[in-house]
Amino acid sequence: MAYLESTVTTVPLPRPAGAPASRPGAWLSLREPHRAAVGASPGAVLFGRDGTLIQDVSCNGDPGAVHPLAGVRAALAALRTAGFALGVLSTQPGVARCVLRREQVEAVQARTELLLGPVEVWAVCPHGPHDDCACRPPATGLVTAACRALALPPELVTVVAHGSPLIEAALAAGAHAVRIPDTARPPAAPCPPCVPAVCRSADSPEDAAGLLLHG
């Protein structure tokens, strides 16, 4: 997998008084397409990572703690077979807090792909909430960076996630969105509402894939 480097200050440095805020970019990793019909792709599906594809473990840098959620592997396989490009969007503020290193983030990514199959792009925001970056959702940078890496316009991209920030980022970038329930939310708690005209909902990643495959 080749890495598209963007200069990122892992540990935020103090800014001189009066200096303009910096806007470091997302970490991107990209592999050659694994689509069934390159050039005739129906588009791309970008998934949130924690709580959408794998169990949400806070600041996880341990590949051994990667556990896929039920039905995810089948959902990704069906989308690949249909020709969709696949990507993963992830915020990792533990990097900015010096709890995680980049190699740990990439080790978790590698383990996720080993268990769920390859994806074409990973887009990671390694910043904290006060770093003034352009990629931390609900800012659009993470979504638009993945779209550029895949050479697809946002209107051909759907983001599947449980968190409102990623959903908002997708819609603001001009992409589609499918919201799924938060696995950490009690079963009786309702899924936060979406605007029906722009955001659909599904019960799981597998159901989200069904929406995209069958309309």
- Counting residues of the chain whose pLDDT is more than 90, the rounded percentage is 68
* Count of all residues that appear for the chain in the document: 215
Q: What is the mean pLDDT of the chain?
A: 83
Q: Residues with Cβ < 8 Å from 172, sequence gap 6 or more?
A: 138, 140
What count of other Cβ atoms lies within 10 Å of the Cβ of residue 139? 19
* CA dihedral (34, 35, 39, 44) positive or negative: negative
Q: Residues with Cβ < 8 Å from 167, sequence gap 6 or more?
A: 159, 161, 177, 179, 194, 199
pLDDT, tens digit (0-9, with 9 covering 90-100), for 50-107 = 999 999 999 999 999 999 999 999 999 999 999 999 999 999 999 998 999 999 999 9
H or E element, residue 178: strand 176-179
pLDDT at 30: 87
pLDDT at 13: 37
Higher pLDDT, 105 or 12: 105
Q: Residues with Cβ < 8 Å from 110, sequence gap 6 or more?
A: 63
pLDDT, tens digit (0-9, with 9 covering 90-100), for 168-182 = 999 999 999 999 998
pLDDT, tens digit (0-9, with 9 covering 90-100), for 111-134 = 999 999 999 999 999 999 888 899
Domains of the chain: 24-214 (3.40.50.1000)
pLDDT at 32: 66
Residue 88's closest CA among 139, 150, 37, 174?
A: 150
Q: Residues with Cβ < 8 Å from 156, sequence gap 6 or more?
A: 41, 42, 43, 44
Q: How confident is the model at residue 108 (pLDDT cuts 50, 70, 90)?
A: very high
Rg, the chain, Cα only: 17
pLDDT at 199: 80
This prediction has a pTM of 0.82
Judging by beta carbons within 10 Å of its beta carbon (0-12, 13-18, 19+), is residue 16 exposed, middle or buried? Answer: exposed
The mean per-residue pLDDT over the stretch 204-212 comes to 94
